[in-house]
Chain A
Amino acid sequence: MMPTPVMRRPPRVAPALVLALLLACFPACTGHGASATREPVTHAPAAPGPIVPPLKQTLAAPDFIVHTAEYVALHRRVAARLPAARSTDDAARITERRKALAAGIRAERSEARQGSVFTPQMETRLRHTVRADLQSRAPDDRAAVGREVPRVPFKVNDPYPEREPQATVPPTLLASLPRLPNELEYRFCDRHLILLDVDANLIVDYIPDVLPQAAS
Chain B
Amino acid sequence: MSRAPVLTARRVRVAVVLLAVTLASCVDTGPWPLWQKLTLPLRGDSVRFAVIGDSGTGGRQQYEVASRMAEFHERYPFDFVLMLGDNMYGGEEPEDFDEKFTRPYQALLSRGVAFYAALGNHDLAAQELPFEPFHMGGKRYYTFVKGPAQFFALDSNYMDPEQLEWLAKALSGSVAPWKICFFHHPIYSSGRRHGSEVDLRLLVEPLFVRYGVNVVFAGHEHLYERMKPQQGIHYFTSGGAGKLSRNDFAKGRPAADQLRVAGFDQDRHFMLIEIAGDQLYFQAISRTGRTIDAGTIYRGEAPVPAPAPRGSPEKRASGAERFLAAGRLRLPEVGERPVVLEDGGHALHDLRVAYDDAHLAAGVELGLP
Q: Interface of A with B (CB < 8 Å)? A: 28, 33-34, 37-43, 45-46, 48-52, 85-92, 94-95, 98, 136-141, 144, 147-148, 162-163, 165-175, 179, 185, 198-201
Residue of B nearest to A92 (CB): B94
B160 at the interface (CB under 8 A from A): yes
Interface SS of A by simple majority? loop
Cα(A144)–Cα(B157), bound, Å: 13
The stretch of B23-31, B161-169, B222-230 that contacts the partner chain? B161-169
B133 at the interface (CB under 8 A from A): yes
Using A52-B328, A162-B92, A199-B126 as known contacts, say yes or no to A41 and B156 having CB atoms under 8 A apart: no
Q: Is B143 a contact of A51 with CB atoms below 8 Å? A: no
Cα(A167)–Cα(B159), bound, Å: 12
Cα(A138)–Cα(B202), bound, Å: 14
Q: Is A91 a contact of B127 with CB atoms below 8 Å? A: yes
Cα(A89)–Cα(B98), bound, Å: 11
Interface flags for B170-188 (1: CB within 8 Å of A; 0: not) read 1001000000000001000
Cα(A172)–Cα(B322), bound, Å: 10
Known contacts A40-B143, A166-B123; 4 further A-B pairs (Cβ under 8 A): A41-B135, A171-B203, A174-B159, A175-B203
Neighbouring B residues of A148 by C-beta, 8 Å? 121
Residue of A nearest to B142 (CB): A40
| Min CB–CB distance B253 → chain A (angstroms) | 11
Q: Is B162 a contact of A43 with CB atoms below 8 Å? A: no
B330 at the interface (CB under 8 A from A): yes
B320 at the interface (CB under 8 A from A): yes
Show 5 A/B contacts (Cβ-Cβ < 8 Å), sorted by A.
A39-B142, A48-B165, A52-B161, A94-B130, A201-B126
Cα(A139)–Cα(B131), bound, Å: 39
Cα(A91)–Cα(B126), bound, Å: 11
Q: Is A95 a contact of B173 with CB atoms below 8 Å? A: no
Q: Is A28 a contact of B162 with CB atoms below 8 Å? A: yes
B311 at the interface (CB under 8 A from A): yes
Q: Is A38 a contact of B165 with CB atoms below 8 Å? A: no
Q: Choose among A38, A42, A138 the residue that contacts B312 (Cβ–Cβ < 8 A).
A: A138
Neighbouring B residues of A172 by C-beta, 8 Å? 199, 202-203, 319-320, 323
Cα(A81)–Cα(B90), bound, Å: 30
Instruction: Count residues of chain B with CB under 8 A from any CB of chain A.
Output: 65
Neighbouring A residues of B126 by C-beta, 8 Å? 94, 98, 198-201
Neighbouring B residues of A94 by C-beta, 8 Å? 126-127, 130-131
Q: Is B121 a contact of A141 with CB atoms below 8 Å? A: no
Q: Is A48 a contact of B162 with CB atoms below 8 Å? A: yes
Q: Is A171 a contact of B164 with CB atoms below 8 Å? A: yes
Q: Is B132 a contact of A51 with CB atoms below 8 Å? A: no
Neighbouring A residues of B160 by C-beta, 8 Å? 171, 174-175, 179, 185
Q: Choose among B96, B143, B158, B194 the residue that contacts A174 (Cβ–Cβ < 8 A).
A: B158
Cα(A142)–Cα(B365), bound, Å: 43
B273 at the interface (CB under 8 A from A): no
Neighbouring B residues of A98 by C-beta, 8 Å? 126-127
Cα(A148)–Cα(B85), bound, Å: 15
| Min CB–CB distance A141 → chain B (angstroms) | 5
| Min CB–CB distance B79 → chain A (angstroms) | 16
Residue of A nearest to B123 (CB): A166
Neighbouring A residues of B173 by C-beta, 8 Å? 43
Neighbouring B residues of A88 by C-beta, 8 Å? 130-132
| Min CB–CB distance A47 → chain B (angstroms) | 9
B259 at the interface (CB under 8 A from A): no
B107 at the interface (CB under 8 A from A): no
Q: Is A34 a contact of B162 with CB atoms below 8 Å? A: yes
Q: Is A165 a contact of B323 with CB atoms below 8 Å? A: no
| Min CB–CB distance B207 → chain A (angstroms) | 12
Q: Is B130 a contact of A86 with CB atoms below 8 Å? A: yes
B198 at the interface (CB under 8 A from A): yes
Residue of B nearest to A198 (CB): B125
Cα(A41)–Cα(B330), bound, Å: 23
Q: Is A140 a contact of B310 with CB atoms below 8 Å? A: yes
Neighbouring A residues of B328 by C-beta, 8 Å? 51-52, 175
Residue of A nearest to B119 (CB): A166
Residue of B nearest to A187 (CB): B158
Q: Is A51 a contact of B315 with CB atoms below 8 Å? A: no
